[in-house]
Amino acid sequence: MGLDPVLAEILVCPADKGPLYCVDDADLLYNPRLGRAYRIDGGIPVLLVEEAEEVDPTAAAAYDERISSGELSPTFDPGK
């Protein structure tokens, strides 16, 4: 189950207040700055710092490539 696009537009990382990247095929929100991910349970993001999981380097590299290619978009544009 994916994340509601309206909700996604207002989500920030609770740790660093920056944008997250929704990885629908893994049901998670990824923070490339911290290398951490927050799970999405039944369409509901679990944005608790203590529940975030460290992303292994191989998966992080794959997510970063998807971000660079434009496949994954940030939850919000901090420049706006």
Q: What is the DSSP string of 22-54?
A: EEGGGTEEEETTTTEEEEEETTEE---GGG-EE
In terms of pLDDT, which residue wins out, 77 or 50? 50
Q: What is the pTM of this model?
A: 0.90
In this model, does residue 80 exceed pLDDT 80? no
What's the confidence (pLDDT) of residue 79? 67
pLDDT digits (tens, 9 = 90+) for 10-62: 899 999 999 999 999 999 999 999 999 999 998 899 999 999 999 999 999 99
What's the confidence (pLDDT) of residue 51? 96
What's the confidence (pLDDT) of residue 1? 52
Tell me, which fold does domain 5-68 have in CATH?
A: N-terminal domain of TfIIb (2.20.25)
